Structure 1
Amino acid sequence: MYIDQTTIINYGILASISWNSNKWEDDPSIEDLKRSKYDYVKDNAHMHESLNFGHDKFPTEEDGYYIGYTPMFNRAPDIKNSRNVQVVFFTSSDYKNSNRKTIIGFYGFPLFGEWFKRTPENKLYKKYDSGNIKAFPENIIFFQNPIVINNEIVQSNNLLPKGKKISQQGFNYLNSDNVYNLIKLALSLNAKNKKLKFFVEKFPLLEKLAKEEFDLEDFISIVGIITADTLKEIEKLEKKMKGQQPEIKQRISNYIERGAISNKVKKLNNYKCSICEALGNPTNSFIKANGDTYIETHHVEPVSTIKTGVLSVTNLMTVCANHHRQLHYGKAQLTENTEKHFKFIIDEKKIFISKVKIE
């Protein structure tokens, strides 16, 4: 089934599993079991997905398949809806890092929809004796550097279908564009993963990825696991940003503008446009479904200048979409930048804007 000639719906699935401190190739730790988000795991002290990425360590079945598990498939996906699925990504919440959600790897060209019994002789196969998804080991890829995601990231990077949020109770279907973007991010993060590159080369939809030259200093490689949700994390980004290309710096700027710090700045400014306010006008924007006024954040000193502090909160201001574009492309000039305020000349009018402070 197609949305158009290039986008295939339900081409992939994003399914969650419990966190395993031993990289899903051995028993979980006691803390993993106690802090799992799944009641079955906590109640039974048993994590069936413990060997999901043990495909290079444990024996395969006679037919060459390696068996894995996700609680999301305990109720099998609808056969009709999942007939196009070529990749199943696994996501897990890292309780050791503020429960940040990460995509840790995938099964390519998988079989699922029923229970599969593990038959080879192995002591751990007696404990973890079956699963509900399988793939050939060469198509099972573990990310040494996982993809950090949240609902802001998946929408801004087109990692889920438009309007969808990460499922809390089941799994998400992905269209072919989402799959493409996820694997592109995985490549940027795991540039030395030869197995991932080989998978891309033989995967029809991703042929053009194999032909692209990926900048190893790409945005995701720089950001890594930094969420830009605290002042200290933004300071880390500022240090890592030095010496990068202008495009990369701008993407880091955009990343921060969508983060938790940005949301705090918006809240402190009561979701108002600083320029509209300075001009004595109501904020020129609309009301979102949650009741907040839609507002954006803007780095006053361009990130590309590499000046110390360009990623800091004191360089952020809140603006409506119209004034945001005007600051970038219109008749607007920053004439003063002090510890406490900015001074602009916009359409020949002098405007003073107080800076935001977050302790």
Structure 2
Amino acid sequence: MTNKIIAEKYFGILATVDWNSNQWQAESTEEDLKNSNFGFTKEHGITYTSLNFAHEVYPTDENDYYAGLLPQLWTKTPDKENAKLVKIVFIKAKNWEDKKNYIVGFYAFPIFEKGKKPSPIASFTEDFETNIKALPKDIHILKNYILFEDEDVKKFIPKGKKVGLRGFNYLEKDNVYSILDRMSSKNSDVKLQGIKYRIIKTIDAIER
């Protein structure tokens, strides 16, 4: 009898952005830019991630989607095979003040597509580069961010994998559920609970 190789199923992604003291709903501060851990931001003094969670502040596109940017997915786009079942992208950032990493929010039921959108901010004249979009009802920033510590790696990252420093991590079902459970435990949030329910229902249906 031959052993069958079971392909890994990935239902989520964990990606990193630079810190924004305005909750990614307004331009990053000068201190944010100066202390960014992304080379592009330090070199050019700008970031295209500053409005990633401004979906309730600025308008959507013609199809009602709101687009943001995940720098780690720009040069290394998600593999079509690995990403075909991805239902949620968790977004992590390092707070330059306390030097700690936090999961701050997510895009659920995402579409990975590179593009540009006009800047809605008068003081920022360049177009915003984008590579992820979702409906505003599926984009959420947490009131209470989730501290990402070393001991969380075993639950939040697939076994045998390390947290991507320059890249991103694909997540298996148990990782996705663990992160959602941690979010729920720290946030009494109707929108979060609704999205969590739909994510779990969708993944469980695929797994049947």
Please, what TM-score do these two structures have when normalized by structure 1? 0.52
Q: For the residues of structure 1 that align with 2:203 and 2:70, how far apart are their CA atoms?
A: 25
Say yes or no: does 1:9 pair with 2:9: yes
Q: Deviations over 1:49-72 (max 9, x none)?
A: 000000011100010100000111
Structure 2: runs of 5 or more not aligned: none
Say yes or no: does 1:140 pair with 2:139: yes
1:51 counterpart SS class: coil
Say yes or no: does 1:81 pair with 2:82: yes
2:42 counterpart SS class: helix
**C-alpha displacement at 1:202, in angstroms?**
2.5
Q: For the residues of structure 2 that align with 1:151 and 1:167, how far apart are their CA atoms?
A: 13
Aligned length: 197
2:94 counterpart SS class: strand
Equivalent in the alignment of 2:196: 200
Equivalent in the alignment of 1:159: 156
Amino acid at match of 1:195: K
Q: For the residues of structure 2 that align with 1:93 and 1:104, how far apart are their CA atoms?
A: 10
The percent identity for this pair of structures is 36
Say yes or no: does 1:190 pair with 2:191: no
Amino acid at match of 2:95: D
Greater relative contact order (Cα 8 A, min sep 6): structure 1 or 2? Answer: 2
Q: How does 1:24-173 map to 2 (within 5 A)?
A: 24-75=24-75, 76-97=77-98, 99-112=99-112, 114-118=113-117, 122-123=120-121, 126-155=125-154, 158-173=155-170
Indicate conservation of the 8 Å contact 2:72/2:168, yes or no: yes
**C-alpha displacement at 1:73, in angstroms?**
1.0
**C-alpha displacement at 1:154, in angstroms?**
2.1
RMSD: 2.0
1:46 counterpart SS class: coil
Indicate conservation of the 8 Å contact 1:150/1:166, yes or no: no
Q: How does 1:213-224 map to 2 (within 5 A)?
A: none
**C-alpha displacement at 1:205, in angstroms?**
4.6
Indicate conservation of the 8 Å contact 1:200/1:206, yes or no: no
Please, what TM-score do these two structures have when normalized by structure 2? 0.88
**C-alpha displacement at 1:201, in angstroms?**
2.9
Structure 1: runs of 5 or more not aligned: 208-359
Q: 2:176 aligns with which of 176, 179, 200?
A: 179
Moved over 6 A (4+): none
Equivalent in the alignment of 1:22: 22
Indicate conservation of the 8 Å contact 2:107/2:134, yes or no: yes
Q: For the residues of structure 2 that align with 1:84 and 1:117, how far apart are their CA atoms?
A: 25
Amino acid at match of 2:33: L
**C-alpha displacement at 1:195, in angstroms?**
1.1
Q: For the residues of structure 2 that align with 1:40 and 1:161, how far apart are their CA atoms?
A: 29
The structure with the larger Rg is: 1
Q: For the residues of structure 2 that align with 1:95 and 1:146, how far apart are their CA atoms?
A: 15
Q: For the residues of structure 2 that align with 1:47 and 1:117, how far apart are their CA atoms?
A: 14
**C-alpha displacement at 1:80, in angstroms?**
1.4
Indicate conservation of the 8 Å contact 1:115/1:130, yes or no: yes
